[in-house]
Amino acid sequence: MPVYKSIEIVATSEKNWAEAVKEGYKVAKKSLKGIRNISIIQSDVKVKEDKDELIYRVRMQINFELEK
């Protein structure tokens, strides 16, 4: 029977939440093997009013299988 571990990460994008999720996955898969699913825990937007800029942020739980 497989055993899984979960970690939580925060990723950002200047485009949208979907891009933030893709970026988080792209970085996570460099060091995590056996990623099984990603759950979005929270999403929000950071406002940089002085630059008229929005930063999309997602807090994600990543579940991956531990090697035996």
Task: Name the CATH superfamily housing domain 10-65.
Answer: Flavin-binding protein dodecin (3.30.1660.10)
Using the 8-state DSSP alphabet, how is residue 15 labeled? S
Structure confidence by residue, pLDDT tens digits, 18-68: 999 999 999 999 999 999 999 999 999 999 888 889 999 999 999 999 988
Q: Which candidate, 45, 9, 40, 6, places its Cα nearest to that of 27?
A: 9
Residue type, 9: I
Phi, psi at 50, each rounded to 5°: -65, -25
Report yes or no on whether pTM surpasses 0.85: yes
- Give the start-to-end residue ranges of the domains of the chain: 10-65
CB 56 within 8 A of CB 4: no
